[in-house]
Structure 1
Amino acid sequence: MTASPVLVLLDHAPDGSLRPPVRELLTLARDLAGDAGVHGVWAGGEDLVPALPVLAAQGVTTVHRLVTDADVHLSAVLADGLEAATAASGASLLLLVSSFDNKETAARLAVRTGAGVVTDVDGLTLEDGRVVAHKTVLAGTWTTRCAVTAPHAVVTVKANAVTAQDAAAPSSPQVVDLPVEARAGSTRVRLVERTEHAASGRPDLGSANVVVVGGRGTEGDFAVVEELADVLGGAVGATRVATDEGWIGHDAQIGQTGVTVSPRLYVGAGVSGAVHHRGGMQASGTIVAVNSDPDAPIFEIADFGVVGDLFTVLPQAAAELRRLRG
Structure 2
Amino acid sequence: MTTPGQPPAGAALPPRAAALVLRGRTVGATSAAIMAIVNRTTDSFYSGARQADDTEALRAVERASLEGAEIVDVGGVRAGTGPEVTVAEEIRRTVPFVERVRAEFPDMLVSVDTWRSEVAREVLGAGADLLNDTWAGHDPGLVEEAGRAGAGVVCSHTGGAVPRTDPFQVRYPVPLDAPAGTDPRDGVVLDVLATLAAAARRAVACGVPRESVLVDPTHDFGKSTWHSLHLLRSTGRLTGLGFPVLMALSRKDFVGETLDLPAEDRLEGTLAATALAAWMGATVFRAHDVRATRRVLDMTAAVRGDEAPARVLRGLV
- Given the two structures, how large is their TM-score scaled by the length of structure 2? 0.28
Bigger share in strand: 1
Bigger share in helix: 2
- Given the two structures, how large is their TM-score scaled by the length of structure 1? 0.27
